Amino acid sequence: MSKLFNAYCRVFQKALYVGSSVLDWSKPELLKGAGSVKKLPAVIKEKGVSKVLIVTDKMLMSLGLLNGLIEELENAGIGYVIFDGVQPNPTINNIEDAVELYHENGCNGIVAFGGGSPMDCAKACGARIARPNKTVPQMRGLLKVGKKLPPLFAVPTTAGTGSETTIAAVVSNPVTHEKNAINDHKLIPKIAVLDPELTVGLPKHITSTTGMDALTHAVEAYIGKSNTPGTKKAAEKATKMIFDNLYTAYENGQDLDARMNMLEASFLAGVAFTRAYVGYVHAIAHNLGGHYGIPHGLANAVILPYVLDYYGKSAYKKLAKLADIAGLETLGMNKEQKAKLFIAEIRAMNEKMGIPSKFDQIKEEDIPVIVERALKEGNPLYPVPKIMDKMDCEAVIRQLMA
C-alpha cells in the first residue's frame, strides 16, 4: 500500500465525515414490545397510506408470521399485496418484480417484513420507485438515490442486520456475482417495529449468525475512524447487550426478554454503523456472499476475528475498551492483552453456537476477483483502523479457507 494512496483514502474519509454532518440522520419512529406489530396498521393509516406492498419471503409466509399484521391491516381498511419472492441474497430481478407489483396494484407504501434480505429488497424497490430512470447498479455507492421514497415501514424478524435503521441496501447481480451496495439516507425507514414475538421461532443457527452480524456492525463501527459521540455510545451499548443476551436467546428461543434485548442491540448497532460505516469484514463478506451464496450473517461471524487479527495494534485501544464493556475478565491486563481476549471471546462464542471457523466454498481461482471487489468496496470508503492492500486481503481470505 503506497503512502500516497493511504493518504488519499484518509482525506476522502475525512471529507465524507465532515460532509455527512449536514445530512438528515433521523432515526425511524419505534414501535416496541410483544405484539407491537399489530399496532403498525393504525400508524400506516395515520401516514395517509391506503395500500401497501408487503415485501417478505415464502418461509415467513408459511410460518404464519404475517397473520397478525394482515388481520389488522384488514381491520384498518388498508389494502395490501404481498411480494413473497425475496431470495436469501435478493437479486436485481427480485427488485424489478417487486416494483412491477407495486405499480400494478396502485400501492403508495411499502412494508418490509423479515430479515436482511426482505429489508434490502424493500429498500431497493423503494429506491427504484423514487428513481425510475436509474437501474440498481447505477444507484450503487453513496447518495445516488437522492429522492424521497414511498413511505417505508420495517418489521425485522431477526436480530442482526439493523436494516430497519440503516442507509444501506445490498442487491446481488446473479450474472456477475457482484453485490451492489446502495447507501443513501433516503433509505432509512420511517417506522420500525421491534416485536420479540416475531423472533421466538427462529432456528438456532439463524439466531446465532444474525446476532454475530449485529456484533460485527457494532465492532466495525466502533473501531473505525468516523465515530461520533452518538455512534460510540450506541456501539458500546449494543456490544454489551449482545454479550449479555445472545447465548440466552440461542439456548432458549422463547425468552422474550433476551429476544427483545437482541432486537434493541441490533437496532443500536445499526444506528452506529449507518453513520460510522463498517469495514473489511463486510467488504469480504459481501463478496463471498455474491460468489457462493453464503448468508451474510454467517460470513460476518466467521470473518470478524480474522480481520480484527489483521488490524493488530491499530485497533487494540478500542477493542480493549470493548472487552471491558462486554464484562470480560480483564483485571491486570494491558490494552493488547484485553484486545486479544476480546477477539478470542468472539471465536469462543462462534464455537459455542456451532458457527464454523472456515469456509469450504472458497476456490483458489476465485480469490483474485474476490480481493479486487472487496477492496473496491472498502477503499477509499470505509474508515478502517488500517488500510488493506491486495496482499493483505488475499492473506486474510486464505486464512478463511478450509
Angstrom CA distances, 77 to 42, 80, 129, stand at 10, 10, 24
Identify the domain containing residue 324 by its residue range. 201-400
Q: Does 244 lie in the same domain as 369?
A: yes
H/E stretch holding 32 reads strand 29-32
pLDDT of 89: 84
Kindly state whether residue 13 falls inside one of the protein's structural domains.
no
> Are 40 and 31 in contact, with CB atoms under 8 Å apart?
yes
pLDDT tens for residues 14-68?
A: 999 999 888 888 899 999 999 999 999 999 999 999 999 999 999 999 999 999 9
For residue 155, give the nearest of 95, 199, 187 by alpha carbon. 199
pTM over 0.75: yes
Kindly state whether residue 4 falls inside one of the protein's structural domains.
no
Kindly state whether residue 16 falls inside one of the protein's structural domains.
no
Query: What is the rounded CA–CA span in Å between residue 5 and residue 380?
Result: 9
Q: Does 65 lie in the same domain as 164?
A: yes
| Pairing verdict, β 79-83 and 152-156 | unpaired
Q: Does 223 lie in the same domain as 80?
A: no
Q: Does 213 lie in the same domain as 298?
A: yes
Q: Identify the residue whose cell numbers are 405484539.
A: 35
Kindly state whether residue 190 falls inside one of the protein's structural domains.
yes
Q: Does 383 lie in the same domain as 257?
A: yes
For residue 92, give the nearest of 68, 131, 50, 124 by alpha carbon. 124
Q: Which of 198, 225, 253 is the last residue of a domain?
A: 198
Counting as low any pLDDT under 70, the low residues of the chain are 1
pLDDT of 1: 60
Kindly state whether residue 337 falls inside one of the protein's structural domains.
yes
CATH number at residue 179: 3.40.50.1970
Around Cβ 229, how many Cβ atoms within 10 Å?
7
- End-to-end Cα spacing for the chain: 28
Q: Does 178 lie in the same domain as 40?
A: yes
List the beta bridge partners of residue 82: 54
Q: Does 208 lie in the same domain as 141?
A: no
Query: What is the rounded CA–CA span in Å between residue 136 and residue 94?
Result: 11
Total number of domains constituting the chain: 2
Kindly state whether residue 42 falls inside one of the protein's structural domains.
yes
Kindly state whether residue 383 falls inside one of the protein's structural domains.
yes
Q: Does 213 lie in the same domain as 175?
A: no
Q: Does 239 lie in the same domain as 207?
A: yes
Query: What is the rounded CA–CA span in Å between residue 208 and residue 400?
Result: 19
Query: What is the rounded CA–CA span in Å between residue 271 and residue 211?
Result: 15
Phi and psi at residue 114, to the nearest 5°: 145, -155
Q: Strand order in 168-173's β-sheet?
A: 141-142, 178-183, 168-173
Helix residue spans in 24-133 (DSSP H): 40-46, 58-63, 67-75, 92-104, 116-130
pLDDT of 88: 85
